Amino acid sequence: MYILGMESSCDETSVAVVEMGDGVRRICSNIVASQIDTHRLYGGVVPEIASRAHIEAISGITREALDTAGVTLSDVGAVAVTSHPGLIGALLVGVNFAKSLAFANNIPLVGVNHIRGHVAAAYLAHPDLEPPFVALVVSGGHTSIFRVRDYNDYCEIGATRDDAAGEAFDKIGRVIGLPYPAGAAMDKLAHEGKAGTVTLPSPALAGDTLDFSFSGIKTAALNYINGMNQRGEDIPRADLAASYTERIVSAIVKKTDVALEREKPLALVLAGGVAANSHLRAALSDLCGRHGVKLCAPPISLCGDNAAMIAAAGYYEFLDGNLASTSLNASALDSGE
């Protein structure tokens, strides 16, 4: 069946058509209209501007997604839309558009959790992947480890207690002059420097907790930068990026190591915008090799926010009969409440 997916939780408006069924997981179209150039002027996402830009984009890219896929609304078996978590005004645009489209055309509607959407990107990239597995979601707003028992049965076994890894990359990247969002540029810059040459504390929490904390290393890096600026010294940007990245990546790897040891899954799914990080991908590939676990990391094009992943997650909600009514609402919270 064809699922029409819609995503508007942050600064990307995306609409996709995905074909899902027995042995079929196919992306027919996945249109992403990014607002990054607009928000870059402000050094971060401005929620009000994001909502307005979603309104301007969503009708046009829905048409484009259907035309590119070569399907009409009468071919669509379900509309799946991100309903939580995210920026509330931004989410409301997608939810209301999806509701109107679904009910005007008598198509079932499904509300999708954005984080589960990121995990579902792995189904599209790895046709044989099935739960149970462990999922590591690393994005601008989340850093969490899940035990995924079934397609719609998630248990969070670790989460950040403060900042997400993406936020930690973006903040320090911005301070050293990289354009928003700085994650990808930090990744590149880190290849030009030498890890360990700037002394930073390890952000890995002590003990066997699977939680993360990145606010301490972010503050340590800020203090280092301020100290260098006060002394009028040049900041070794590449060495800082390399040292900072190494610390963040090793904390993520350390906790994932504990999770794999404890859960003994067959596969580890890596998801979220920071899943594009080359240093993290390489380190997790080594880790999974040591554990004999299959690493399922989507291609870079499916790591960031996109609607194909929402359609894939929506398909499994649809199969379980988790349909939304006309009262579907958006929520900023992970719980959707």
Stretch that binds ligand KG4, among 28-36, 63-71, 193-201, 267-275 (CB under 6 A): 267-275
Q: Is the Cα dihedral 208, 209, 214, 217 positive or negative?
A: negative
Query: By rule CB under 6 A, what count of residues binds ligand KG4?
Result: 19
Stretch that binds Zn ion, among 41-49, 138-146, 262-270, 314-322 (CB under 5 A): 138-146
Site of tokens 């790897």:
253
- CA-wise closest residue to 49 among 81, 13, 11, 7: 11
Q: Name the binder of 265 from ligand KG4, Zn ion, none, CB < 5-8 A by kind.
A: none
Q: At 6, give phi and psi (nearest 5°).
A: -135, 135
| By the rule CB under 6 A, 272 interacts with ligand KG4 | yes
| By the rule CB under 5 A, 305 interacts with Zn ion | yes
- CA-wise closest residue to 188 among 234, 238, 127: 238
From the list 170, 239, 246, 317, which residue makes contact with ligand KG4 (rule: CB under 6 A)?
Answer: 170
Cα separation, 154 vs 118, in Å, equals 13
| By the rule CB under 5 A, 250 interacts with Zn ion | no
Q: At what angle do helices 307-319 and 114-125 cross, to 10 degrees?
A: 100
Cα separation, 56 vs 34, in Å, equals 12
> What's CA 270's distance to the chain center, in Å?
10
Q: Name the binder of 298 from ligand KG4, Zn ion, none, CB < 5-8 A by kind.
A: none
**Eight-state DSSP code of residue 82:** E
C-beta nearest to Zn ion: residue: 305
Cis peptide before 127 (omega within 30 of 0): no
* Residues 95-134, mask of contacts with Zn ion (x by CB under 5 A): ----------------------------------------
Q: Name the binder of 183 from Zn ion, ligand KG4, none, CB < 5-8 A by kind.
A: ligand KG4
Which residues make up the interface to Zn ion (CB under 5 A)? 139, 305
Which residues make up the interface to ligand KG4 (CB under 6 A)? 10, 139-141, 166, 169-170, 181-184, 187, 272-274, 276-277, 304-305
